[in-house]
Amino acid sequence: MKRTVVDLYCCQGGATRGYQNAGFRVVGVDLDDQPRYIGDEFWQSDAISFLTVHADWIRREVAFIHGSPPCQFDSDCQRIQGNEHPDLIEPTRDALEELGVPYVIENVGGALPKLKNPVELCGLMFGLARTYRHRYFEAGGWTLPQPHHPRHEAPQVKMGRTPRDGEVIQAIGNFAGVGIVRDEWQVSWMNRDGIREAIPPAYTEWIARQFLAAGVAR
């Protein structure tokens, strides 16, 4: 069985670490150099160009592709600030469907109208007591089940204030509590910038194990 995953738009490798924890070798792809990236191999490249140029290798060697197109286009704070960013969800999907390799596309709540039958993941589903961080995952070429979503009871810390015990941390912007999040997510190599862009590895480890259980791995 193939044991390689490609992580598109990998940043510092939050998604990558989850796939590694499930036993996969991970190749990260990002437009920017990522000196903190912890995958097994890294390519600095436009993600969609990478899929096109390396299509034969991907079809031959890769079991699964993860894509996290930059979420700024669908982020509320970016819209408020009037910043412009490319919308890469549909182009990424088109390239993945052309390859015919199983995949997930991940994004934020603002992108929900663009995602096909997405599954919602939350930190509480994986024992992350100080993390909500809702993210949405569209599966292509296989089916991802929706896990039970525990009720939110802990308050979220207000931005800019040091988190108190029992408060959930929003790891966005110039948030306080970097060390707490780093420890809870088990991402010791990441700085604040990396955490802001990351998926907790627990999410993608769960996705990888669902993928293996679905019996579609080639």
Residue 73 has pLDDT above 80, yes or no: no
Q: Give the H/E segment covering residue 106.
A: strand 103-107
| CA 26 – CA 14 distance, rounded (Å) | 12
List the domain range (segments joined by +) for residue 176: 4-214
The two tokens of residue 93 are 């999907």
Q: pLDDT per residue over 25-62, tens digit each?
A: 999 999 999 999 999 999 999 999 999 999 999 999 99
pLDDT at 74: 52
The Cβ of residue 82 has, within 10 Å, a number of other Cβ atoms equal to 6
| CA 16 – CA 130 distance, rounded (Å) | 21
The two tokens of residue 90 are 């549909």
Give the model's confidence band at 1: pLDDT under 50 very low, under 70 low, under 90 confident, else very high: confident
| CA 202 – CA 204 distance, rounded (Å) | 6
| Mean predicted confidence (pLDDT) in 182-210 | 98
Tally of structural domains, the chain: 1
Mean pLDDT of the chain: 93
Entry pTM: 0.93
Distance of CA 214 to the CA centre of its chain: 20
Q: pLDDT per residue over 137-162, tens digit each?
A: 999 999 999 999 999 999 999 887 89
pLDDT at 71: 67
pLDDT at 161: 87
Q: Are 197 and 12 within 8 A, CB to CB? A: yes
Q: Give the CATH number of the domain where residue 155 resides.
A: 3.40.50
Helices and strands, counts by H and E, the chain: 8, 7
